[in-house]
Amino acid sequence: MEQNNNFDSIYQLHYSKVYRLCKGYFNGDNDIASDATQEVFIKVWENLPKFRNDSNISTWIFRIASNTCLMYLRKASYKKTVHTNKFSEVTIETDSHETEEKLLKMYNCINQLEPSNKLIIMLVLEDLDYDKIAEIIGITEENLRVRIHRIKTKLTKCVQNGKI
């Protein structure tokens, strides 16, 4: 019974963040993001008794989510089903058309990043602390800071030129 209550609270607290992360991996495809998110929480449920509290539970969940999404990306079936960039359909409520255009360009550029860099920038956008991101990715915090700087430089150039 305790595992059920614990899982319910974990699910409620982390579902939307995991879903946004998955949605970012799959270019805004709601169906695949939803499937991947459900798979993440199945893995969380199955492995919750084994969780040793060596790290923060959110770090553990994001690690499961990133591995699950990367697994989906490796599947040939996913590569065949995604043909469009769904972020181009996103509408952002804003007073400035120019700001909206820049945000759409930014999402397009994020989708051009290699998977590990895409994960890093999406976790930064989720406001995760750098030490947690470094733990999820499996690199030092110093290395993470260097990669974030390089990713931001690439994204800035991409927004200006349209390509990474």
Overall pTM > 0.75: no
Contact in structure between 114 and 122 (CB atoms under 8 Å):
no
pLDDT band (50, 70, 90) for residue 5: low
**Burial classification of residue 40, based on how many CB atoms lie within 10 Å of its CB (0-12 exposed, 13-18 middle, 19 or more buried):** buried
96 three-class SS = coil
pLDDT band (50, 70, 90) for residue 158: confident
Residue 84 vs residue 157, higher pLDDT: 157
Position 1 pLDDT exceeds 70: no
